[in-house]
Amino acid sequence: MKTPMLSSTLASCRRGFTLAEMVIVIAVLAVLVSISTPAIFQFIRQRDIQSEENTQLEIRKALQAYLADKNVLPAEDTWFTDLGGYTNLSTSQMENDVWGRPRSYIMYKDPSRNLQGSPVEIYYATLISSGPNGQTTAGPGIAVQGTALAAADDVTWWSHLSGREVSTFSALQPSDDDIMTRFTDYPEKLDRYNLTLQRLDRVAQSLESYSKNAYANKIATCNALPKDPATGLTGDATCDNGAPELVVYYPKSLAVAAQADSATYYNATIYVDNSQNDATRRSAMQGLMHLLGLPDDFCCSALQLGTDDEPKAFYYFSNPRPRNSGGGCGARPGAGSNKLPARITTVNDDTAAVNPTCG
């Protein structure tokens, strides 16, 4: 038998919420949801944007690796498959942005640039996502058709703007919520240009040291030869009457066939023939580097490629012609003429009217 107090307590527990209490709870929940929903959506939006930026950064690294390996950038229609071996991203992750829409990749190669007279190819590329809203908006230098990017051959697209200068490329900016990555190897080309200059300077210094040592050895040899008491001559034409000054002490090279070389060389071995193809000349220049005690890669430009897509070998001239002040080249110094220092160049514009190499 239950007591009256216990029955009252049980009845109270079974009663639950009143209608008024239910209304208040629902109202409070509604307010909380209305306050938190925009923040949740904003958090998701920012998370996705950050993810897209990170993915584009990974693609940028892949472009750098691909360029370092191939010396070109991938084509516009195959870029996401070409980069497959240069990143951990899948093909789909590269082709489509985090919202599942295709990214736009546009590449341009400018072959008209030069650095201090050396022709170079500069690559430019952009990678663009239309962002969370899926609609591309025209920005500085960027053309759209409706809500999508314009075709790569659109006359207003950045890669076809007149001038094609780095300043134009640097001014490209995405609009609205679009996300864009710019990529160019121009800074790397500057680094490679400076490296090429360093190699040229080092090779020139090594050639000068080699010739000085060879000259010293020649003088020592001349001094050791017996002299005719009546004439004071050794009988060796290259030793008498200051003739050692007329000998070429640089390792011997051959210019193009039409430019004969009648000089007297301390070492008659031919190390480089400048008329040969890129691959053969590269091998010969590497042999010259061994002779000079330099690394193999000092044979070649760090900036230019030969016809076989390997580093282009320098041109080396052991007995160069003088440059005429008004343009063009003088006669090559012969056996009885004073010689010029050896010349090493990146191009063989021997017959150019303005600033020729005169090799």
In this structure, the dihedral spanned by the alpha carbons of residues 343, 345, 351 and 355, taken in order and rounded to 10 degrees, is -90
| Choice between 199 and 238, residue whose per-residue pLDDT is larger | 199
- Does residue 74 sit in the same domain as residue 197? no
Rounded to two decimals, the pTM is 0.72
Geometric angle at alpha carbon 127, from 137 and 145, rounded to 5°: 35
What is the 8-class DSSP label of residue 87?
A: -
Angle at which helix 278-292 crosses helix 186-224, to 10 degrees, equals 60
Residue 5 lies in a domain: no
Element (H, E) at 140: none
Contact present, 156 and 124 (Cβ < 8 Å):
no
- Does residue 149 sit in the same domain as residue 230? no
- Reduced to 3 states (helix: H, G, I; strand: E, B; else coil), residue 192 is helix
- Does residue 144 sit in the same domain as residue 209? no
- Does residue 177 sit in the same domain as residue 201? no
| Choice between 14 and 273, residue whose per-residue pLDDT is larger | 273
Residue 25 lies in a domain: no
- Does residue 50 sit in the same domain as residue 195? no
Please compute the mean of the pLDDT values over residues 191-212 and round it to a whole number: 95
- Does residue 214 sit in the same domain as residue 122? no
Domain boundary among 184, 204, 237: 184
| Choice between 51 and 152, residue whose per-residue pLDDT is larger | 51
- Does residue 196 sit in the same domain as residue 331? yes
- Does residue 82 sit in the same domain as residue 106? yes
Is the pLDDT assigned to residue 161 strictly greater than 50? no
Is the pLDDT assigned to residue 328 strictly greater than 50? yes
- Does residue 105 sit in the same domain as residue 229? no
Q: Number of folded domains in the chain?
A: 2
SS3 helix, strand, coil % of the chain, rounded to 5? 40, 20, 40
Residue 1 lies in a domain: no
Residue 312 lies in a domain: yes
Which residue from 183, 165, 182, 169 is spatially nearest to 64, judged by alpha carbons?
A: 183
Residue 31 lies in a domain: no
Residue 16 lies in a domain: no
Q: What percent of the chain has pLDDT over 70?
A: 84
Domain holding 341, by residue range, is: 190-345
- Does residue 171 sit in the same domain as residue 207? no
